[in-house]
Structure 1
């Protein structure tokens, strides 16, 4: 059976993403225009537009489409803004951010993921304003500051180093907590210090190095 991916993409937006209160026209346009099936591993391509997280390898997965939509809407990236993405993964969210932002800098722990995502974006002509770098977010550093930061893996607690990369007035999306009771939050770098807005509950794989330390009872 041949799948009409363009139709499946429209159905995903109208029946999954929009009903979850993702109403930002620019976000919906990005989700319609970027072919999610091109970023899904071939073994799972038939599920590219299903309401499910899809495995990528190395214990990582693509977020559900509804979560991706909520992430993009919460960050509210504008055309003149610079974005840092922590965790490139498949490169799908990277591509969506690239449609919304002036420039996207994405870092990815696994070099093969970074290479594959870069190749996908370049093949589709979506990589012109995107730079993908293989790096560990917990040892990498930069003097640059960003308008928005998108963290695609969960953390037990928000690392202060991530907040240091925000410009004044910038915002950071991250999922924090201990599974299965995790909380997606938006952190704003306000004048009086970080302001945290609770967005929704979800469950996400941890960033490498950000999982809770196992506790032993004796």
Structure 2
């Protein structure tokens, strides 16, 4: 059973998400919070698997709450997967949330099926890269901020194949697409992906996308999907 925490300052949105989630056999809403401060307390006590996190809230916004919730000094067992909810598809806060470790984001006007899919995807350890939207957001903010930044020396520890896999991941390709592109088995691709994330200390594919853009493996406009 996937345990979900819903964080939003609007009670009607929380109620709507709860009704959709609780109707599923494989997931349940274990709690709600109306601001980031309460979300942190709820995450500590309820240990959800997935947090649906609003961005703009009183007391403590979703960005800072995500940063604290996923901080490196928190035990892995205390760190849920975070999906950021936003009204805007190009929100500076969302990019920062991805940097902080969020596993992706959804627009608040997403269909219920998209919300359910997002929960299942991130609960399974993957990242939610909404078609086109996450990539556009990353391009919007990486382009202006990383032009003078030298590549991360940690990339020197990757094999040539692992670097190819990272580049394709950064371009938003799925494991199946990477396997087809490189003419390797999908299980082999999964192994490469795991090693890349481990060597670069990346939480999941969402951070790999950010990392790829920030280190020049993919540049804005390179990928048209």
The TM-score normalised by the length of structure 2 is 0.30
Structure with greater strand percent: 1
Specify which structure has the bigger relative contact order, considering alpha-carbon pairs within 8 angstroms and separated by 6 or more residues: 2
